[in-house]
Amino acid sequence: MPEDKTPADPDASGSGWNWSRPEGGSTPAARHALPRNEDFRRTVGFTVLGTVVPGVGLIAAGRRVVGSVVLALFVLTLVALGLAALVDRDALVSIGVDPVMLRRLTIVLLVVAALWVVVVVATHLALRHRPTRSQRVLGGLLVGVLAFAVAAPMAVAARTAYVSAGLVGTVFQSSADTNSATRPTLQATHAGDKEQQTDPWADQARLNILLLGGDAGKGRVGTRTDTVILASIDTKTGDTTLFSLPRNTARMPFPSDSPLKRAYPNGFTDGDPNNAEFFLNAMYRDVPVKVGKDALGKTDNLGADVMKLSVGQALGLKVDYYVLINLQGFSKMVDALGGVRLNVNTYIPIGGNTDLHIPPKEFLKPGPDQKLDGRSTLWYARGRYGSDDFARMDRQRCVINAMIKQANPANVLTRYEDIANASKSIVYTDIPQEILPAMVDLSLKVKKGNVRSIVFKNGVNGFLSTNPDFSLMRSRVKKAIDEAKDDDTPAKTTGASSGSNKSAPTSEDVDSTCKYDPKVAATARPYTG
């Protein structure tokens, strides 16, 4: 009677081997019968596949139970992340701006990386059968490459999470752990009140953030805010209008119900509009000294609160938050971004002192689309030898616009650690951690939205820095915001220096200062006094 052979027998098919058991798993006997070269190719293929889709290689090697568990965990994780991204993206964003969750994420990513590498190694060993010496070496190299391909991105992600935790924890504090006399009170959230949890300004049409450039350099007492820009953001569209005030603006007002009004009934002045100790840029440093640290109540930064109240009163807008950038460290931020591309129309001085008649020894030369490093960008924004504060304010606006455009996700991610480390030492703010998820969403809208600028220039449209007409200024601010609401055209920059005193600002395709003008550049000459 002929011998009965089953499909599991390598010789049953007449080909000398069988790929799998009837139920789909590979048999040791079948792999033993497979020619070594083909067996190695199969091992390589399933090792790679088992790396991309963990668990598949183990199942192919006959390790069904453990392979199925690994595959199920992998698929469930992807599904959970996908659903979270579609259904509750704010929950994912909140992890990225929560220091505690970021530190936990760091540990999770490292553990996942280690387990994934174990799966890669185990998959290859389970698949490998009777390898030659050269196949062992090639298999080891393959496993090493695949393990690195898995572990490296996880390690980078873990490092980024760890650095982010440090950044968020240093720059942004919880509202419960900090004090401010001017910061909006966060509305209490309730279970199921999803709108309040995800959108702190659901009923707020505009978010107003005061941007301050502080200069506390060597040889100077305290911080002088030479850069004062109010960013008014449409919370629905992200369209932003920047209002720039000259550093030498006199008689800065205070709200009538503020204790500061009693201390300065005629505004921040001693009666002499040319006294630099009573310019706008001296308020941050000097007002707290006179009124005392508790004049507005409990606060961690009275100077910033003073600036928020005064600038808000001058422009007719309620200022929600402030961001102060130490200009001495600004160059570090630009270098961390890899530089900024700017158009240079004139020779811009590097150094020099007009009052002491000390000419600069260096200049930024005219040219289009120049990539400037941190030092050059700082002087582009600050240099004023032979010019005035208003020309400098124009250039500062160009720097802000350029950084908004050039801080793209790819650039930020590749330089993230440098940017984070630079930010920790130069950025101060009263924006609380609790609203960071919503702030991230809004920043994405701002990047896609229109950015316009209004610069209050001395002698233009009725503005005089020594004797400002604050009623006229508030009227111009309102008109600019109304114009922004009605403008559905692509991104523009709005100039306030054109038109009559009572007309709304006119719009241009590109700001004349930020756009390269070859005719102006061709006739430019360095000013040396």
Alpha-carbon distance of 408 to 105, in angstroms, equals 24
Taking the domain 196-523, which CATH number applies? 3.40.630.190
Listed in order, the ranges of the chain carrying CATH 3.40.630.190 are 196-523
- The pLDDT, as a whole number, for residue 437 is 86
Alpha-carbon distance of 152 to 129, in angstroms, equals 29
Closest CA to 212 of 11, 19, 396, 463: 396
| 24-38, 59-73, 115-129: segment of lowest average pLDDT | 24-38
Q: Do 243 and 230 meet the contact criterion of CB atoms below 8 Å apart?
A: yes
Residue 113 scores a pLDDT above 60 = yes
Helix (H) or strand (E) holding 113: helix 99-127
477 or 39: whose pLDDT is higher?
477
Residue 34 scores a pLDDT above 70 = no
Paired strand residues for 454? 243
What the block records as the tokens of 263 is 């201390």
- The pLDDT, as a whole number, for residue 386 is 77
171 or 265: whose pLDDT is higher?
265
pLDDT band at 255 (very low <50, low <70, confident <90, very high): very high
- The pLDDT, as a whole number, for residue 87 is 79
Please compute the mean of the pLDDT values over residues 35-60 and round it to a whole number: 90
Q: Do 505 and 453 meet the contact criterion of CB atoms below 8 Å apart?
A: no
Residue 163: count of CB within 10 angstroms of its CB:
19
Length, in residues, of the chain: 529
Please compute the mean of the pLDDT values over residues 335-351 and round it to a whole number: 89
Alpha-carbon distance of 235 to 206, in angstroms, equals 5
Residue 180: count of CB within 10 angstroms of its CB:
23
pLDDT band at 12 (very low <50, low <70, confident <90, very high): very low
Alpha-carbon distance of 226 to 186, in angstroms, equals 30
- The pLDDT, as a whole number, for residue 461 is 83
Alpha-carbon distance of 405 to 450, in angstroms, equals 11
Q: Do 63 and 126 meet the contact criterion of CB atoms below 8 Å apart?
A: yes
Closest CA to 281 of 327, 323, 246, 320: 246
pLDDT band at 167 (very low <50, low <70, confident <90, very high): confident
Residue 258 scores a pLDDT above 70 = yes
* pLDDT tens-place string over residues 460-488: 888 999 999 999 999 999 999 988 776 65
Residue 315 scores a pLDDT above 90 = yes
- The pLDDT, as a whole number, for residue 317 is 96
Closest CA to 482 of 211, 239, 201, 311: 239
- The pLDDT, as a whole number, for residue 513 is 67
Three-class DSSP labels, 388-408? CHHHHHHHHHHHHHHHHHHCC
CA atoms in the 13 A half-sphere facing the CB of 344: 23
With H, G, I as helix, E, B as strand and everything else as coil, classify residue 378: helix
- The pLDDT, as a whole number, for residue 55 is 95
Give the strand pairing for 362-364 and 348-350: antiparallel
pLDDT band at 24 (very low <50, low <70, confident <90, very high): very low
Report the mean per-residue pLDDT for the chain. 81
Please compute the mean of the pLDDT values over residues 327-342 and round it to a whole number: 83
Please compute the mean of the pLDDT values over residues 181-202 and round it to a whole number: 62
Alpha-carbon distance of 228 to 324, in angstroms, equals 10
Residue 274 scores a pLDDT above 70 = yes
- Give the sheet arrangement for strand 321-326, strand by strand: 427-429, 321-326, 206-215, 224-234, 240-245, 451-455
The sign of the CA dihedral 158, 161, 165, 166 is positive
Residue 69 scores a pLDDT above 90 = yes
Residue 125 scores a pLDDT above 90 = yes
**Torsion angle (degrees, nearest 10) of CA 409, 415, 416, 422:** -120
